[in-house]
Amino acid sequence: MQNKDIDIIKNMRTIEWLKAQLLDSVANLYRVLAHGEENTKENLEDLISNIILEALLLGKRLGLKFEDIESALRENIKINLIEEHKIEKWYGDLSILLEFIDKDKN
């Protein structure tokens, strides 16, 4: 096999592994929420940060740039603000998230 073939196979395996990791993290999140385990805040922080990390790494392996994912996220938030998403109406979370993301840009 040529190096290019090996790289393609390695990338495919990595994508499958990241998909499995992402699903496992989501399943663990459900488990923690369902059982109300102790140290829930710490568990939730770890699980949600893992989900974000795994999703970003999966996007990278699928050929996306981190900057493009972040830009798409920012645009998604703005669209949901314009469309007055219920979460924004009820809690203002989208505005807070957009402010949080934009603070690193300034």
- Do residues 15 and 62 make contact, with C-beta atoms less than 8 angstroms apart? yes
Residue 21: exposed, middle, or buried by beta-carbon count in 10 A (0-12, 13-18, 19+)? middle
Residues 56 and 4 in one domain: yes
Residues 86 and 46 in one domain: no
At 67-92, the pLDDT tens digits run 999 999 999 999 999 999 999 999 99
Residues 70 and 59 in one domain: no
At 29-56, the pLDDT tens digits run 998 888 876 667 888 999 999 999 999 9
- At position 66, the amino acid (one-letter code) is F
Q: What angle do CA 95, 85, 104 make, to 5 degrees?
A: 25
Count structural domains, the chain: 2
Phi-psi label, residue 85: left if phi above 0, alpha if psi -120 to 50, beta otherwise: beta
Instruction: Provide the domain limits for residue 82.
Output: 65-106
pTM of the model: 0.85
Residues 43 and 91 in one domain: no
At 16-26, the pLDDT tens digits run 999 999 999 99
Residues 50 and 85 in one domain: no
Task: Tell me the C-alpha distance between 47 and 28, whole Å.
Answer: 7
